[in-house]
């Protein structure tokens, strides 16, 4: 029998992805991995697991192993752990900070993360400081004052698309004995590998581009050093608290990963094409996208990201909230929905979602660029913008 692709050294990530990280099922020869739905596993006469490590499906699942090894390989990390959602993965990381500790978090990031941080830290006697991580000097000053136990970054940030210098901030963290965690959901591991720049942990909402089909909730955390105290806590939190992914959802994620490279390539090409068009439109005030040369952190983004700049962007429409809502309402190809990273392009009026006090401009539309024919997306945005 031929070797599984995972046994072949030196394969490009695109090839590993195409085979879902493993090739054929050794039990049957099937090119698609089976779904094992059992929740418990039998023991022998001496009450030892028949298959080592397989005791209960909350933490013993062959599909977990296959998917986690593939993602760890993409991240150039040591180990990965799947969670029931992106927020479950984020929560496990944050809970590793003990009461009395301090978290220094990037400001202006995904509102769900910000809300969780504020409420969790307030309930658990953890100091939370929010600061603009794209201003490196100011962030250095904040770090020296707060002396955090954990630094939380989102690169690029959602929905402002700011880019933090992971390498320089990781140096701060190492000198200050702080854990650096980076949410790189908007970039995917094919574009940005935070661990390679010194981050300790990288997290993704697998709901988004990793799966890419808007049909499952999932999250994943990958570590550089599996012997760290933080990683031990995260693994125990996943097992003991039970925020695990189901077998079918894991199978869907593995299936979605097979086409990740192709989807990311098309989405990135569409995104830069649309961004270039939008920044010249008379009814656009600004385009927030790190792939544009006039983006404040464009050169930094170029130094950290490869193969593109992601499929997420925000547009500030000329006018007010009503103007932005009219543009969103007149779009035909873009669907009005909350999420990102799927095959379909989405538009979201973030102010409607977050409301007052969030700092979101009323005229901001967040765009998730899909795999459609690029000129169709341009034409759709053009007619919608021209209508105001």
Residue with tokens 């299936």: 255
Catalytic residue, chosen from 25, 58, 65, 382, is: 58
Residue 110 annotated in active site: yes
Residue 183 annotated in active site: yes
Rounded-to-integer distance, Cα 153 and Cα 169, Å: 9
Rounded-to-integer distance, Cα 344 and Cα 336, Å: 11
Q: What residues have CB less than 8 Å from 161, skipping those under 6 apart?
A: 186, 288, 289, 290, 295, 312, 313, 314
Count of CB atoms within 10 A of residue 4's CB?
Answer: 14
Six-digit token string for 269: 């090409």
Catalytic residue, chosen from 66, 149, 165, 183, is: 183
Six-digit token string for 141: 């000053």
Beta bridge partners of 150: 103, 179
By C-alpha distance, which of 289, 274, 293 is closest to 160?
289
* Half-sphere exposure at residue 367, Cβ-oriented, CA atoms within 13 angstroms: 33
Instruction: List Cα–Cα distances, 229 to 25, 69, 97, 179, 249, in angstroms.
Output: 35, 21, 11, 10, 29
Rounded-to-integer distance, Cα 161 and Cα 109, Å: 9
Catalytic residue, chosen from 64, 110, 289, 351, is: 110
Rounded-to-integer distance, Cα 7 and Cα 10, Å: 10
Rounded-to-integer distance, Cα 187 and Cα 71, Å: 14
Rounded-to-integer distance, Cα 387 and Cα 314, Å: 19
Catalytic residue, chosen from 162, 193, 208, 350, is: 208
Residue with tokens 């050093």: 225
Catalytic positions are 58, 110, 183, 208
């Amino acid at each position: 029998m031929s070797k599984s692709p995972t046994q072949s050294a030196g394969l490009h990530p695109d090839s590993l992805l195409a085979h879902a990280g493993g090739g054929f099922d050794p039990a049957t020869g099937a090119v698609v991995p089976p779904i094992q739905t059992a929740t418990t596993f039998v023991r022998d006469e001496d009450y030892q697991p028949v298959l080592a490590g397989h005791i209960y499906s909350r933490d013993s699942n062959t599909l977990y192993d296959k998917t986690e090894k593939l993602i760890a390989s993409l991240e150039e990390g040591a180990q990965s752990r799947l969670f029931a959602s992106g927020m479950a993965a984020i929560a496990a990381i944050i809970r590793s900070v003990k009461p009395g500790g301090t978290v220094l978090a990037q400001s202006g990031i995904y509102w769900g993360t910000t809300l969780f941080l504020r409420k969790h830290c307030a309930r658990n006697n953890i100091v939370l400081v929010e600061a603009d991580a794209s201003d490196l000097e100011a962030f250095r000053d904040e770090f020296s004052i707060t002396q955090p136990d954990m630094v939380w970054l989102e690169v690029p940030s959602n929905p402002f698309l700011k880019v933090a210098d992971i390498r320089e901030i990781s140096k701060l963290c190492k000198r200050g004995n702080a854990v650096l965690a980076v949410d790189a959901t908007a970039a995917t591991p094919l574009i940005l590998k935070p661990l390679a720049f010194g981050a300790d942990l990288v997290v993704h909402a697998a709901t988004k581009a990793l799966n890419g089909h808007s049909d499952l909730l999932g999250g994943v955390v990958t570590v550089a050093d599996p012997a760290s105290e933080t990683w031990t806590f995260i693994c125990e939190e996943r097992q003991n608290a039970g925020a695990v992914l189901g077998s079918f959802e894991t199978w869907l994620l593995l299936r979605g990963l097979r086409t990740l490279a192709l989807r990311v390539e098309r989405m990135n090409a569409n995104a830069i094409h649309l961004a270039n068009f939008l920044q010249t439109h008379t009814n656009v005030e600004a385009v927030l996208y790190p792939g544009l040369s006039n983006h404040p952190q464009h050169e930094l983004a170029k130094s950290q990201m490869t193969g593109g700049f992601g499929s997420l962007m925000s547009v500030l429409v000329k006018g007010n909230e009503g103007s932005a809502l009219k543009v969103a309402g007149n779009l035909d190809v873009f669907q009005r929905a909350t999420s990102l990273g799927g095959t379909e392009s989405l538009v979201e009026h973030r102010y409607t979602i977050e409301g007052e006090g969030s700092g979101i401009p009323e005229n901001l539309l967040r765009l998730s660029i899909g795999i459609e024919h690029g000129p169709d997306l341009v034409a759709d945005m053009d007619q919608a913008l021209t209508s105001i």
